[in-house]
Amino acid sequence: MATARKTDARRFRIKSANAARRTRSPRAARRSPLATVALIAIGLLFTGGAYAAFNASSSDSGAVAASQESVERGEKLFAANCATCHGLALQGTEAGPTLIGVGAAAVDFQVGTGRMPLQNQSPQAPVKPVQFTDSDVDALAAYVSSISPGPSVPDSEYLDAAGDATRGAELFRINCAMCHNVAGAGGALTEGKYAPALTGVTEKHIYEAMLTGPQNMPVFNDANLTPEDKRDIITSLKYLENNPSPGGFELGSLGPVAEGLFAWIFGLGAIIALAVWLTARAN
């Protein structure tokens, strides 16, 4: 499989060295070099350190330094595994959306949870066993973000699940629970789509999902939910996951439907079985 992927990659490899070596700013292509320098200087003056502190995880440089080698490997992997639907230049086809501007975070989420490569066209890409090694995923992410920048893989400081669980739970109820359920048990959407359960999802992938809005999920960008907010939400989810319900088995956290079924089948079932036993005639 891996060797086939590599030969395919070689066959479809884009010869443009320029594209691979392109800097992280797409504006370079549209403006004169001087204007770019001036813009960057002004931008740095105005936005300054505070901006950088609040947006460390978003579009600029990114935590993972994309080495040239990694980008090249990612390009091959992309051409072999993704380009059929997303196009060789990430432009998208009828079968798949464009990946220009999705950034490393989206790639890391989609490929890192096994959703991509897509198994078949269905209402929603399900989670399945991850098809690539971690370094392959990183390479793909590096390649996609090298073509055009987008949200990058989040910094580990926001993934420690050590934020404010109370605040996170409240934010979760307000922003997420209508689809994912208050306990993160998941829920149904229209036309066969669904919001998946959030138990067992890694902190990084939860963060990336909020940042990039995969599939039917809306994007919760850093202006909407700050990285701190996201950290708190992850904290509350992990708190629920790591602290088993004080009341006993959770019945899937599905709420009254599961409780009602349990009461009927096991509760009343047990009582009826005992009543049958109680009224049975001795042989």
Rounded CA gap, 155 and 219, in Å?
18
φ, ψ for residue 194 (rounded to 5)?
Answer: -155, 160
31 conformational bin, left if phi > 0, alpha if psi -120 to 50, beta if neither:
beta
Residue closer to other proteins, measured from CB, 38 or 270: 270
Nearest to 236 by CA among 197, 198, 189: 198
Residue closer to other proteins, measured from CB, 147 or 195: 195
Q: Rounded to the nearest whole angstrom, what is the least distance from the CB of residue 92 to other proteins in the complex?
A: 26
Is residue 161 exposed (0-12), middle (13-18) or buried (19+ Cβ within 10 Å)?
Answer: buried
- Whats the size of the chain, residue-wise? 283
Q: Rounded to the nearest whole angstrom, what is the least distance from the CB of residue 259 to other proteins in the complex?
A: 5
**What residues line the site for other proteins (CB under 8 A)?**
123, 165-166, 168-170, 173-174, 177-183, 185-192, 194-195, 236, 239-240, 245-251, 253-264, 266-268, 270-272, 274-276, 278-279, 281
Q: Rounded to the nearest whole angstrom, what is the least distance from the CB of residue 276 to other proteins in the complex?
A: 4
Q: How many CA atoms lie within 13 A of 229 on its CB side?
A: 18
Which residues are bridge partners to 141 per DSSP?
A: none
Nearest to 43 by CA among 63, 64, 27, 30: 27
Residue closer to other proteins, measured from CB, 48 or 244: 244
Residue closer to other proteins, measured from CB, 87 or 126: 126
Q: Rounded to the nearest whole angstrom, what is the least distance from the CB of residue 170 to other proteins in the complex?
A: 7
Residue closer to other proteins, measured from CB, 20 or 182: 182
H or E, element range at 269: helix 269-279
Residue closer to other proteins, measured from CB, 120 or 190: 190
Q: Rounded to the nearest whole angstrom, what is the least distance from the CB of residue 158 to other proteins in the complex?
A: 18
Whether residue 62 contacts residue 127, with contact meaning beta carbons closer than 8 Å, is answered with no
Q: Rounded to the nearest whole angstrom, what is the least distance from the CB of residue 106 to other proteins in the complex?
A: 24
